[in-house]
Structure 1
Amino acid sequence: MEANPDEPHGAAVVADGLGLKGPRGWVFRGIGLQAGPGSLVAIEGPSGSGRTCLLLALTGRMKTTEGHAEVAGLPLPRKMAAVRRISALGPVPGVSDLDPALTVAEHLRERALLQRRFDGSLKALLRGPAERSAASRARIDEALTAAGLDLATLPKGDRTSVRDLERLEALRLSVALALVARPRLLALDDTDLKLSDADRAEAWALLRSVAASGVTVLAVCSEAPEGALRVSTATRTARTAEGTPATGAAAQENPAGDADDAEAAAPTEDATNEDGTSGKPADTGTTGKTAATGDTSDTAQAADTATTGDTAKTADTTTDTAKTAKTEKGEDDALAEAGRA
């Protein structure tokens, strides 16, 4: 069967040594990725490890600091605007949230109007009102089917408010809204957040079906599902003395949380050297070199010496106090004897 040129097709995503540095340090660093069109890519790691920023960087919505990345052959960050045109965001807190006060129908109608407004094809602009409405309705139905959202099963149908949706239903609605634009790349944040085991399985089944249709999917999660291409932001990148990243993708943890990833805290934890000793990182993220440290046994010996010296001083002080008390007692006894005499 001949392929339909209007059908969405996935975008290949490639990254090598990708890093993002904020005012307080590295958000993520040393990320490597190679995903073909129609892949399901799981960006896993704990909250605060730079997952959301990596997701936004790969969709052209955040400028990286170092490394190289391409989406559908478009280099980042040089072609960020072009990457945004072929990608769409599902649920990303603080970026593409659903409005809890709007109904499902209002969300869908708003997205269709926006899509019509920014559809740059001359053919779409020349359509009559009835034809444009029919095309929008067809896009919405197609997106709802792909997202597995049946409006008839909702409490009030398409008049159901977003605040009344279950977590999985809200996820399906966000995916449907993103698919209205027929993107080549779909990105979602917190995919498995607050989902039961059964709902989590359904969510990943949904994303697998979207990827199988030809759309490349990037999904942030706490734990990647089986069969997905994994990219981890959970560990710090080990770097050699020359400043070249070691094998594997990694990122610096940021205790401030995903919302503050762009302003990641400066690295304050002790770095681990090749000889197993501990020391503070010297100019971490600029040269990639680690400050040299002395022998830990010397530190321990110095600590023991200081502790022993302090103990000895305390003992001497106690002895002096006892002697002083004894002398004072002797003087009192002598005065008493003198008084009796």
Structure 2
Amino acid sequence: MEAHAEEPSGAAVVADGFGLKGPRGWVFREVGFRAEPGSLVAIEGPSGTGRTCLLLALTGRMKPHEGHAEVAGLPLPRKMAAVRRISALGPVPGVSDLDPALTVDEHLRERALLQRRYDGSLRSLLRPRGERAAATRARIEEALEAAGLDLGTLPKAGRTSVRDLERLEALRLSVALALIGRPRLLALDDADMKLRDADRAAAWSLLRSIADAGTTVLAVCSEAPEGALRVTTAPRATPATDTPQDLAAEDRTADADDTTTADRTDAIAAEDRTADADDATTADRTAAGSGATGGTHTETTTDGDAVTIEEGEGDALAETGRA
């Protein structure tokens, strides 16, 4: 058995005036709550009110723009990477989807191997192969038990394809995959979507049992269950339609913009110098143009000086100004 196989300690989650802004406006604002370790937190609200983005921001996967938040004492956004290490995503459409072509066993083995490879200690990686395989099986069995997924009840046991799973079974598999890493914070989206009443009750019972075992749970839903800490994303007069993918792309663009600010400043300065040089030679160009075809006209400057401008050149300068 691994040295760190003890039950995970849940993470306290605190938010005060928390907000995230996208290209089309504020996705959510003024979110505030405090959740103790091992809490079941239901992020409630209609679709399009920033529920998923709030979930991703609180797990260190999106950068907030105002307010304050902490997860297990780690401030956001300064410690986003550290928050990601102690949190795990269950089902979040477009972010952590299951692969319908893979079987249940393939998903479980892949997640366990990745967990061992990237989060395991050097000592665990150097253990004999038999010990590593036994530890992997133990992690998988532990996660399956916590998620309430009995492979024996599936049509083809572990060889069942994800596409053949019922909605509640797929939810349990996603939760099991997340629990393989023994996170302190578990987050999932649309916890009650497309579930019959009995399945919805079973899903909330599952999440409550995980919270009771010590892991803090954040779950997006349309209606919070009784006994959960309810966090509401207030509707806006003009809801933003930014998706998590839009906001992630914006963060990458913002990082790139930060690295090129000096280049843009230099380019603007060079443009100003070029404009000054053009002004200095305008009189020479107009004087030369007085003998060319295309016609000329005379304008008076604010200083009272008469300036002769070739008509063709005026059109060209106007076109350049629009470019």
> What TM-score does the superposition give when structure 1 sets the normalisation length?
0.69
Q: Which amino acid aligns with 1:254?
A: P
Q: Are 2:204 and 1:204 equivalent residues in the alignment?
A: yes
Name the CA shift for 1:107/1:123 in 2 (closer, same or farther; >3 Å): same
SS at match of 2:10: coil
Residue 262 of structure 1 is matched in structure 2 by: 247
Q: How far apart are 1:128 and its partner, in Å? A: 1.1
Query: In the alignment, is the contact (CA less than 8 A) between 2:191 and 2:219 conserved in 1?
Result: yes
Tell me how far 1:145 sits from its aligned partner. 0.1
User: Which amino acid is the alignment partner of residue 150 of structure 1?
Assistant: D
The residue type equivalent to 2:48 in the other structure is G
- Matches of 1:70 and 1:40 in 2, distance apart? 17
Amino acid at match of 1:262: L
Contact 2:23 2:242 in 1 (8 A): no
How far 1:260 sits from its partner (Å)? 6.9
Q: What SS class does the counterpart of residue 46 from structure 2 fall into?
A: coil
Residues 46 and 257 of structure 1: CA distance in aligned 2, closer, same or farther (over 3 Å): farther
CA deviation after TM superposition for structure 1 residue 261, in Å: 7.2
Alpha-carbon spacing, 1:5–1:151, altered in 2? closer, same or farther (3 Å): closer
3-state SS, counterpart of residue 107 of structure 2: helix
Aligned to 2:167: 167
SS of match in other structure, 2:19: strand
Distance 1:111 1:61 in 2: 19
Deviation digits for residues 74-93 of structure 1, max 9, x if unmatched? 00000000000000000000
Q: Name the CA distance, whole Å, in 2 between partners of 1:83 and 1:260.
A: 20
Once the two structures are superposed, residues 79-131 of structure 1 have per-residue CA deviations (whole angstroms, 9 ceiling, x without a partner) of: 00000000000000011000000000000010011011112423312211110
> What is the match of residue 116 of structure 2?
116
Amino acid at match of 2:94: G
Question: How far did 1:259 drift?
Answer: 5.4
The residue number in structure 2 matching 1:241 is none
For 1:67, what is the secondary structure of its paired residue? strand
Do 1:104 and 1:161's aligned partners in 2 also have CA atoms closer than 8 Å? yes
Q: Distance in 1 between matches of 2:35 and 2:246?
A: 24
Quote the residue 2:216 is aligned against.
216
Which residue of 2 is the match for residue 26 of structure 1? Answer: 26
Task: Flag the 1:261–1:33 CA change in 2: closer, same or farther, 3 A.
Answer: farther
Distance in 1 between residues matched to 2:104 and 2:94, nearest whole Å: 19
- Note the 1:234-249 alignment, pairs <5 A: 234-236=234-236
Conserved? CA contact 2:24–2:240, under 8 Å: no
The structure with the greater share of residues assigned to helix is 2
In structure 2, the residue matched to 1:43 is 43
Aligned position for 1:226: 226
Alignment check: 8 A CA contact 1:45 1:222 kept: yes
Separation in 2, partners of 1:78, 1:259: 20
Distance 2:5 2:165 in 1: 35
Which digits, 9 at most, give the CA deviation of each residue in 1:136-193, with x for residues without a partner? Answer: 0000000000000000000000000000000000000000000000000000000000
One-letter code aligned to 2:111? R
Percent identity between the two aligned chains? 79
- Specify the alignment match of 1:133 in structure 2: 133
> Aligned residues, how many?
245
Unmatched 5+ stretches in structure 1: 237-251, 264-341
Tell me: CA distance 1:259–1:123, structure 2 relative to 1, closer, same or farther (3 Å): closer
Q: Does 1:191 align with 2:191?
A: yes
> Partner letter of residue 135 of structure 1?
A
Paired position in structure 1 for 2:70: 70
Q: Is the 8 A contact 1:17 1:29 kept in 2?
A: yes
How far the C-alpha of 1:262 sits from its partner, in A, is 3.5
Report the Cα distance in structure 1 between the residues aligned to 2:240 and 2:25, rounded to whole angstroms. 12
Paired residues of 1:124 and 1:132 also in contact (CA < 8 A):
yes
Q: Secondary structure of the residue that 2:100 maps to in structure 1? A: coil
AA partner of residue 45 (structure 2): G
| C-alpha distance in structure 1 between counterparts of 2:241 and 2:52, whole Å | 13
Deviation at 1:6, TM superposition (A): 2.4
Question: Using a 3 Å threshold, how does the CA distance of structure 1 residues 168 and 258 change in structure 2: closer, same or farther?
Answer: farther
User: Does the alignment pair 1:94 with 2:94?
Assistant: yes
- Separation in structure 2 between the aligned mates of residue 92 and residue 147 of structure 1, nearest angstrom: 16
Are residues 125 and 5 of structure 1, via their aligned partners in 2, closer, same or farther at CA, if it must alter by over 3 Å?
A: closer
Larger-Rg structure: 1
Identify which range, 254-263 or 85-94, moves more after superposition: 254-263
Shift of 1:258: 5.1
Q: Letter of the 2:80 partner, please give it.
A: M
